[in-house]
Structures are given as C-alpha cells and as structure tokens.
Chains A and B, each alone.
Chain A
Amino acid sequence: MINIDIHKRLYGSNGEMNLDVNLTVKKGDFVALSGQSGSGKTTLLRILAGLESAEGTISVFNKTWQDKKLFLPIQQRKIGFVFQDYALFPNMTVEQNLLFVEKDRDLANYLLETTELLSLKNRVPTSLSGGQKQRVSLCRAFMKKPKLLLMDEPLSALDPAMRNKLQNEILTLHKEFGTTSIMVSHDPAEIYRLASRVLVLEQGEIINDGTPKEVLLKTSGSQKFSFEGELLDIVKVDVIYIAIVAIGQQLVEVVISKYEAKNLSIGSIVRLSTKAFSPMIK
C-alpha cells in the first residue's frame, strides 16, 4: 500500500491554489493521473519522488518516506522516473545510461532486448529518435527494479504508432516487475489501455477517482456516441432548421426542430449524441 496525504500551496499559471491530495494506492496498480495543465499533476509526481517538498506524510509499502520529522532523500527512495523530455545522459552510450544507475549488465541487456534496443546499445542518445530515446529512458527507470514507477507524460511527444508500441512495452514491464505505476496522461485511449485506475485532478484536488470505464465512458443517458462541439450557425432551410457544429477538425450539419433551434445559442458548446439503433454506418 502507498499512502499519500500531502498538501502544498502552489503559485502556478492559474494563480494560487492548494494542492491537497489524500490517496491510497494498492500494490501493483497502474494509476493514470489526468486533468488540465496546471492542476498539480506533475507537482504531485515530483513530491512523491522527493524532488519537491510538501507538508504531510508519504509512506510506501510500510516505509515512511516523509512525515513531520523525516524526509527521505531522493537517492534512497528507489523509484523509477520517466520524464517527458527523456532526460538521458548525453555523455554516455545507451548501455552506459543504464549501467550508470546499477552495474547490472544482465538486467540492462534483458531490458534492451525487451524494448528492441540491443543493437543500439553503443549509440549515444543524440543519434536516436524520440521513440528510441524514451525507450532508453524507460529501461533506465527499471534498472533500479523500482517498487514505484513515476511517469510524467512519457509518450505525449511521440507519434501515434510509436505511442502504441511503447504503451505495450510499459505494460509488459509493469507486469513483469510487479511495479506500482503512476503516470500522468491526457490521452483517453492510452489511459484505457494501461491504467487500472484513473484520478482526475482539478485545481489541486482529486475530483474523480475510479476505473477507466467508470471515469472515461460517458454513461449518463443511453447514448452510444457522444461528441462535444461548438455550435457555429443555425440555418433555416424551407421548413427545417440545420445546425452547423464544429467537432474537432470537422464541420457537421444536423437537422434540428424549431423548438431546439430556439433553445440553442450560436457559439455555445453542445453535445451531439446518438443511440445504438439509429446511426448509420457507411
């Protein structure tokens, strides 16, 4: 069990706010940390790592990392941390990056093989692609055989295909090492594939906590598809009204009734949905 009860006053981009988190994480869980930027996700991760201070207590598998009297230094926390910008050591080769953490050549070779990097082990980080760098960073994080793995938007700088590949590798390693993982992510598909639990942070507080199914699937009403979009215009064509809605990069036309047209205001955010039996798929 990981018990976290911390608070800290933050002066962020959205003005002042209180980071106030009281949380218990089970061993082996994969927790996704979601929420708008500036909600305190990264700070929470950094506090867990010992990179930032906060008031309160943190205990991890019956070992106190932080309380009123004690602050366990970063070096002794035995965590893995994957940064968004990889943070590799440019003066070392891929293999040296791993061995710097722990002189365990077998483990390094095993990790590099799992992530298909073995042939690149003598290359320096500057000669690698973004996806390769992040895999090295992932391998490096596992060199400590961490009980707790922290990842700060590890895949957000990568293209979708590379993301998919890395998601699989993260999941494989997470299971194999029996790690408890906490990952900051904005991508619902990624969260659904990887996480066993989702926390949504807003203004420093947890506002939603559950399985990805509970949190991500819009279960209110019985609709099967649901999109949010901006109502751009309502046009009257003969006897019907057509609403023009921008959803993502696409504009769609929807027939609406006179009554609906009256109640909608142009420029507002609307939700478009349809039930299981009515949509057409072409």
Chain B
Amino acid sequence: MLENLDLTPFILSFKLAGLTTIILFIISLPLAWYLSQTSSKAKPFIEAITALPIVLPPSVLGFYILIIFTNTNLNFTFTGLVIASCFYSLPFMVQPLQGGFETLNKNMLEASYIAGKSKITTLLKVALPNIKPALLTALIITFAHTVGEFGVVLMIGGSIPNETKVASIAIYEMVEIMDYTSAHIYAGIMVFISFVVLLSVYIFNHTQKKIGGFH
C-alpha cells in the first residue's frame, strides 16, 4: 500500500511554499521596513491592503486573480500558482517583519546613521540581525501557510497531476472518491509536518527570549 503512495503532491506543495517564501521575503523586506519607519499618511492604506488576504475568502482572491490572468497563459500552471500564493501569503510575511522592526530601539538605528551608514546597510547589518525571532516566524509561517492553502490553489491551479495538484488538493480528491486510507496517510503527514514546524519556531523563540538576545 505504502509503495503505491504518490509523493508528488507533497513535493509540489513544498516547492510551491519554498518559492513563495523566497519571493515574498525579497518583496516584503523593503515593504515591512518602510512601514515600520514611516509616519506617512499612506501607511494605514498600505497596511490595510496588505492585510486583505487574511480576511478575504480565498475564493474572492482566486476569482480576481483568475480575472487578472485572463489573456495570459498563467491559469492552471505552476507559475500562476506561485504568483497567486504570493498574494495570498503576503500578510504572513509582512506583518511579523514589520512588528519586529517596530520593536527595535530607534536610537540604535540612529546610531547606525550617525556612523555614516545608509538606510540599506542599516536594514541589512543592524535591523535584520536583531529581529531573528520575528524573521524566523515570518519565514516559517509563510511557508506553512502556503503549504496549507486550498481555495486559491483550487481556483487558479485546478488539479493537474505533477503541475498543480498539491497535497491539500490531493487529500480533497481522495476524500471525494472515498479513498479514506490514502486520505488518512496524507492528512497524517500534513499534521505531523505542520506540528514539527510550529514547535521548532516556538522553541527557538522561547530560547531567544531566555538568553536575552532579543529585546
């Protein structure tokens, strides 16, 4: 039975989550930094827009992305899935990073400017290394959230084997055809991986607080 187990959906899920996390990190780093430092009137608008995917039903997000993708050949492809995931998981990367940056001692950042360092150097050499727990939370939660997504994936990706059929979709289909054995195995693997990931985040953050490496 186990030798018949097709692991491709898991590999697809992790590939999708990994790519999404990397792309979102690159996009969100300057955005979160800007939001944490600015006192511009545009700030609440940008914050509200980036938080939208948290409250919107995935079907709404999926619907709009489908519309945007019309006349492109992105619908029902892996690339399209990555782009859709980036929209869907954006707040899970931006918010922890922004929160981390906001807790930093302002004088410390100013000390870096006084030392003659640019904003980019200050971000990379001073700010980022001092928000390690927030950074880890952002990366892991984004990754885990992308692995766990279902609605958007279903609408944008459909369920094309080896292309867009990720683990969550595969489980849905197994239940649909009443293949409960496979569904159990897949679901069990998902629960186990998710738990281990979250546990390691919490253990890391706990020890960071204990040694006082983070204020």
On A, residues with C-beta under 8 Å from B are 49, 51, 74-81, 83, 85, 87-91, 100-102, 126, 140, 143-144
Contacts and interface: CB of A to CB of B under 8 A. Distances in A.
A88 B116 CA distance: 15
Contact of A75 (B105, B118, B129, B130): B118
Interface stretch (B106-114, B152-160, B194-202): B106-114
A75 B113 CA distance: 5
Nearest to B118: A75
Nearest to B116: A75
A143 B117 CA distance: 13
B206 interface: no
A125 B69 CA distance: 52
Interface string B92-116: 0000000000000101101111111
B206 to A, nearest CB: 17
Given A80-B114, A83-B107, 10 more contacts: A49-B110, A51-B114, A74-B113, A75-B113, A81-B114, A87-B105, A87-B111, A90-B130, A90-B213, A101-B115
7 contacts: A51-B113, A51-B114, A75-B117, A75-B118, A77-B114, A81-B110, A89-B111
Contacts of B111: 81, 83, 87-89, 140
| 8 residue pairs, one from A and one from B, having the closest CB atoms | A87-B107, A91-B129, A101-B115, A74-B113, A87-B111, A83-B107, A87-B108, A75-B116
Nearest to B117: A75
A89 B114 contact: no
Contacts of B113: 51, 74-75
Contacts of A49: 110, 114
A83 B212 CA distance: 21
B209 interface: no
A88 B108 contact: yes
Contacts of B110: 49, 51, 74, 81, 83, 87
Contacts of A102: 115
A49 B114 CA distance: 8
A126 B108 contact: no
Contacts of A126: 212-213
Contacts of A81: 110-111, 114
A75 B115 CA distance: 7
Contacts of B118: 75
Contact of A90 (B107, B115, B215): B215
Contacts of A75: 113-114, 116-118
Contacts of A87: 105, 107-108, 110-111
Given A100-B125, A126-B213, A89 B117 contact: no
Nearest to B104: A90
B126 interface: yes
Contacts of B213: 90, 126
B183 to A, nearest CB: 46
B212 A78 contact: no
Nearest to B214: A90
Interface centre among A77, A83, A88 (most CB of B within 10 A): A83
B115 A144 contact: yes
Interface in B107-157: 107-108, 110-118, 125-126, 129-130
Interface centre among B115, B125, B126 (most CB of A within 10 A): B115
Interface centre among B107, B118, B126 (most CB of A within 10 A): B107
Contacts of B126: 89, 91
B107 A89 contact: no
B115 to A, nearest CB: 4
A91 B130 contact: yes
B105 to A, nearest CB: 6
A75 B116 CA distance: 4
A91 B212 CA distance: 12
Nearest to A146: B114
B129 to A, nearest CB: 4
